[in-house]
Chain A
Amino acid sequence: MSDATGTTIDLEKWEIVVGLEVHAELSTRTKLFSSAINQFGGEPNTNIDPLTLGLPGSLPVLNEQAVELAIRVGLALNCTVQPNEFSRKNYFYPDLPKDYQISQFDRPIDDEGHLELPDGTVIGVERAHLEEDTGKSTHVGGGGRIHDAGHSTIDYNRAGVPLLEIVGKPDIRSADQAKAYVSELRSILMAVGASDGKMEEGSMRVDCNVSVRPRGTTELGTRCEVKNVNSLRSLGRAIEYEAVRQVDMISAGERVQQQTRHWNEDDGRTHKLRSKEEADDYRFFPEPDLVEVDPGEEWIERVRAALPVLPAARRHRLSEASGVDLAKTAIVVERGLDELCLAAIDAGADPVRTLTHAEHNLSDERSLDLDPGAFASLVTMETGGDLTATQAKQVLAEMVSSGGSPADIARAKGFEAMDNSELEGIVDDLIAGSPDEWQRFLEGDTKVMGFFVGQVMKATRGQADGKVVTKLLNSRR
């Protein structure tokens, strides 16, 4: 692998260890502790109330829906949903209206779980906790001179928006795996209706803890936390850059310092923000303005019963029903086509062909509206030899865009299945007209098969089924 600057590390010698902290904005109507609207964008400082601005005398009251969503995510991540409480995390920053953040510290709502990547790898989840988002500062540029260093303006619309911070265990071993983790987590959050998953709008933000160690060792290396990773692409780049940087340091006999670093998209590097020693003393203590939360069995079970089937379970279900490899079911499930495929398979369609179509020929969103019976008929027409693969693809596209039964569409397109006697005549004529090629075929030159199939296709304007042609040719030997 290589980083942005082109240097590489030897993955036989080194192992990358990554743990991700994902902040997901929850899809509530209002903020975590107040009735101001939770909405992206909008005129600055319009979604405000006394608490959002941290006005003197304002008090927080917990949004029940945020708790509900945190329970959903917790269950979806196989966590224990437990009695929990809020604490104050104290630090001064202008976009933090109270100059403390109400978060969960030693008693998070969701404890110890895991998620399964499409390839079956299981990544641990340490915890997930509720906390409030900050406002947004915008730097207004100065002229670059010291007396003109610019200034910042702050919009508190985002302040107080509910966040669920999902803290993953350092179980990730590559940049690709990190990307798979985030995208799996995103699917889960969207599946349970907890978040819209829009990374580009900041609905999901990722901090990555990266360390390296000699392959074969078990002790964790000193980690750096990389912030400002705003897309899957930059997540991969940031991890690779950071791993190379750390290996280079160790290889040069230096020690990696525990730091918080900032990913710069423009130069493709991470830059030091602060060292461990400079880290704030957050002085966590139990939030006295809020009371304890105990979801209780009844609530948890009600949420569990209402959960949809989650991506991992859907992949397993589809893999089992189709006999197709688990990893190959991922794209179908991601597109939400698994129900369609399962129904088609149930209706007698060949599982492998069904999934192949779903993977390659059903990227159109309208595919979700396909009638499973019609889809099954199409697959059966194809496997029964009534349609060639090319024809089936065309018919399917028409079914998606305009609807209709595959038989009608095939007929309208003139894709009448050729009967074998007509095809046999064509094949025999061809053999008679190409004695040299036929001789080479008889002598075992299998490459000539392609020539004959091609000629038959040409003669039938592509309507012949390649498999049938092959069978006929072999029978003539």
Chain B
Amino acid sequence: MTSKPGTYPTAIDIAVSVRSGERTASEVLEDHLARIGSSDAEIHAFNHVMVDEARSTAEAVDSAVEAGENPGPLAGVPVALKDNMCTRAVPTTCSSRILEGWKPPYDATVVQRLGVAGAVVIGKTNMDEFAMGSSTENSAFGPTRNPRDTSRVPGGSSGGSAAAVAAGFVPISLGSDTGGSIRQPAALCGVVGVKPTYGAVSRLGLIAFASSLDQIGPFANTVADAAVLLEVIAGHDPGDSTSIDEPFAELSPHLDDGVVGTRIGLITEMMGEGIDADVAARTREAADALEAAGATVEEVSIPAVTYGLSAYYLVAPAEASSNLARYDGVRYGNRVEGNTTDEMMFATRTQGFGDEVKRRIMLGAYALSAGYYDAFYGKALKVRTLIRADFQVAYEKFDVLLSPTSPSTAFPFGDKTSDPMAMYLNDVCTIPTNLAGHPAISVPFGAGDDGLPIGVQVLAPPRGEQQMFTTAAVLESAAPGDAE
């Protein structure tokens, strides 16, 4: 099966029609449930579809409209959530056996905000286990297929959320991005994906992979839809100590501002070795398109980004080794019994986690362990400082930066599963922004030689989302569309 973005109504269209009474939220929901019903057996975007909960939410939205109230900017818009965001009384698994069947007793902040905005949460999407992976093949419940070519991976780790949007199951969804887990699957599935500035979106209720890198962000078929969704979920949350205590940028009113005079830097280190030729070519075309729209584009070197992958694969596993310690079979989740507490914990974790999770937990424990901390984790934290500093220098000269999102288009299942390092290289262009805490967006821009979508990444300085979205909107309108 193949499908293209743009053939389904956007979130903004749906919200307008629901608010005006032209359509009911319930009708909208049933349309989407029908599409899920007919195609998700093949795509496997969802771990869990919340049919009953979604129907009652939609009814509540409809009652509000009937009562003359405004249900909010996402009135009646179906939204899918990556299965690492806590939803009260609804299974939240991180696609892991260890949490299979677990129902959180509380909602994540983003879930609460979606509710306030009138959105209809429709289900929980498949992912690489605990968000560790770049293909969604590490899900304990089986992989998600790329709607653009079902023989290929959707990318990861938020593969389910990307595929759900690409397949038209939902107009918008949320993923989480630790090293590229929103942007890379967005690129591979041909949709828009945003990793906001660290601290822009609350992490409360997001099941942690690497706390200093994780951010929740939107997927959408259009830049405008992504902007609305981000505006809804962003903003200060006193429940997250790392949340930015200032109003989030206005995005939607500035999408048509254009890029005349915008200074754009094309990152040299992300255009050479390791990047497929077609991907590099589309990225150059994207730069040309921006130039044609009035921006100035120059190449810029950000030397420290070449150390991003190394730093990332020490920092993220280190934090993960600690964040995933709590899955010990004592308080929640699945337990494998043992004669002592220790035996129970060993058995629970050994049987509950998949190989990639175990690999990263052990790598992280090693990087933090006595005698190795300075050489590995400590050094990686210093590299983060260098990366941030190099970006800072670049942002003195440029407003936004440009690069490919992923080095290649979607790859076939099993292509990289036996070689962790090959899989990790998928994230080489996306990782540096996570390490720096900066925002970035992936916008579809044409197709590769194989006809599969290619994404171009716009990077911005911290809290620079407004100009980032404006630039993305220009790219979107200039995009050549699919090769097919």
Answer whether residue A90 sits at the interface, using C-beta atoms and an 8 A cutoff. yes
Interface set, chain A 48-105, CB cutoff 8 A to B:
50, 53-62, 88, 90, 92, 94, 97-100
Answer whether residue B341 sits at the interface, using C-beta atoms and an 8 A cutoff. yes
> Number of B interface residues, CB 8 Å?
46
Please determine whether B370 and A61 come into contact, CB atoms closer than 8 angstroms.
no
CB nearest neighbor in B for A62: B241
Assuming A152-B341, A283-B322, is B242 touching A289 (CB within 8 A)? yes
Q: In the complex the two chains form, what is the Cα distance from A475 to B331 in whole Å?
A: 87
Q: In the complex the two chains form, what is the Cα distance from A154 to B212 in whole Å?
A: 31
Please determine whether B322 and A88 come into contact, CB atoms closer than 8 angstroms.
yes
What is the 8 Å Cβ interface bit string for chain A, positions 36-58, against chain B (1 contact, 0 not)?
Answer: 00000000000000100111111
* Chain A interface residue number, banded: 20 to 34
Kindly provide the distance from the CB of B82 to the nearest chain A CB, expressed in whole angstroms. Answer: 12
Please determine whether A57 and B86 come into contact, CB atoms closer than 8 angstroms.
yes
Stretch from B100-108, B222-230, B458-466 at the A interface: B100-108
Please determine whether A61 and B106 come into contact, CB atoms closer than 8 angstroms.
no
Please determine whether A288 and B325 come into contact, CB atoms closer than 8 angstroms.
no
Q: Which residues of B contact A97 (CB under 8 A)?
A: 326, 331
Question: Out of A154, A281, A288, which one reaches B370, CB within 8 Å?
Answer: A281
Q: In the complex the two chains form, what is the Cα distance from A288 to B377 in whole Å?
A: 13
CB nearest neighbor in A for B333: A56
Question: Out of A50, A61, A90, A285, which one reaches B238, CB within 8 Å?
Answer: A61
Q: Which residues of B contact A92 (CB under 8 A)?
A: 325, 328, 342, 345
Answer whether residue B339 sits at the interface, using C-beta atoms and an 8 A cutoff. yes
Please determine whether B369 and A288 come into contact, CB atoms closer than 8 angstroms.
no
Chain A to chain B contacts (Cβ below 8 Å), 8 pairs: A56-B92, A92-B328, A98-B326, A99-B325, A152-B341, A283-B321, A283-B373, A289-B242
Please determine whether B328 and A59 come into contact, CB atoms closer than 8 angstroms.
no
Question: Out of A56, A60, A98, A285, which one reaches B86, CB within 8 Å?
Answer: A56
Q: In the complex the two chains form, what is the Cα distance from A208 to B342 in whole Å?
A: 27
Q: Which residues of A contact B325 (CB under 8 A)?
A: 90, 92, 98-100
Please determine whether A285 and B241 come into contact, CB atoms closer than 8 angstroms.
no
Assuming A92-B345, A149-B339, A289-B241, is B106 touching A55 (CB within 8 A)? yes
Answer whether residue B279 sits at the interface, using C-beta atoms and an 8 A cutoff. no
Q: Which residues of A contact B104 (CB under 8 A)?
A: 55-57
CB nearest neighbor in A for B370: A281
What is the 8 Å Cβ interface bit string for chain A, positions 274-297, against chain B (1 contact, 0 not)?
Answer: 000000010111001111000000
What is the 8 Å Cβ interface bit string for chain B, positions 272-292, against chain A (1 contact, 0 not)?
Answer: 000000000000000000000
Q: Which residues of B contact A62 (CB under 8 A)?
A: 241
Q: Which residues of B contact A289 (CB under 8 A)?
A: 208, 211, 241-242
Q: Which residues of A contact B211 (CB under 8 A)?
A: 288-289
Q: In the complex the two chains form, what is the Cα distance from A152 to B339 in whole Å?
A: 12
Q: In the complex the two chains form, what is the Cα distance from A98 to B373 in whole Å?
A: 21
Mark A residues whose CB is within 8 Å of B: 50, 53-62, 88, 90, 92, 94, 97-100, 149, 152, 154, 156, 281, 283-285, 288-291
Please determine whether A291 and B207 come into contact, CB atoms closer than 8 angstroms.
no
Kindly provide the distance from the CB of A447 to the nearest chain B CB, expressed in whole angstroms. Answer: 74
Please determine whether A61 and B369 come into contact, CB atoms closer than 8 angstroms.
no
Q: In the complex the two chains form, what is the Cα distance from A59 to B207 in whole Å?
A: 10
Question: Out of B94, B242, B326, B339, which one reaches A99, CB within 8 Å?
Answer: B326
Q: Which residues of B contact A156 (CB under 8 A)?
A: 331
CB nearest neighbor in A for B345: A92
Answer whether residue B438 sits at the interface, using C-beta atoms and an 8 A cutoff. no
Please determine whether B319 and A288 come into contact, CB atoms closer than 8 angstroms.
yes
CB nearest neighbor in B for A282: B370
Closest 7 CB pairs of A and B: A99-B325, A288-B212, A283-B368, A288-B211, A56-B207, A57-B205, A57-B86
Q: Which residues of A contact B212 (CB under 8 A)?
A: 288
Assuming A100-B322, A149-B339, is B105 touching A59 (CB within 8 A)? no
Question: Out of A50, A90, A94, A291, which one reaches B242, CB within 8 Å?
Answer: A291
Q: Which residues of A contact B207 (CB under 8 A)?
A: 56-57
Please determine whether B99 and A50 come into contact, CB atoms closer than 8 angstroms.
no
Please determine whether A57 and B322 come into contact, CB atoms closer than 8 angstroms.
no
Q: In the complex the two chains form, what is the Cα distance from A152 to B330 in whole Å?
A: 11
Assuming A55-B106, A59-B203, is B318 touching A285 (CB within 8 A)? yes
Kindly provide the distance from the CB of B86 to the nearest chain A CB, expressed in whole angstroms. Answer: 4
Please determine whether B328 and A291 come into contact, CB atoms closer than 8 angstroms.
no
20 further contact pairs, Cβ within 8 A, besides A55-B86, A285-B319: A54-B326, A56-B92, A56-B94, A57-B104, A57-B203, A57-B208, A58-B204, A59-B204, A59-B241, A90-B322, A92-B325, A92-B345, A97-B331, A149-B340, A156-B331, A281-B370, A283-B321, A285-B322, A288-B211, A288-B242
Please determine whether B105 and A55 come into contact, CB atoms closer than 8 angstroms.
yes
CB nearest neighbor in B for A91: B325
Q: In the complex the two chains form, what is the Cα distance from A281 to B368 in whole Å?
A: 9
CB nearest neighbor in A for B93: A56
Please determine whether A57 and B108 come into contact, CB atoms closer than 8 angstroms.
yes
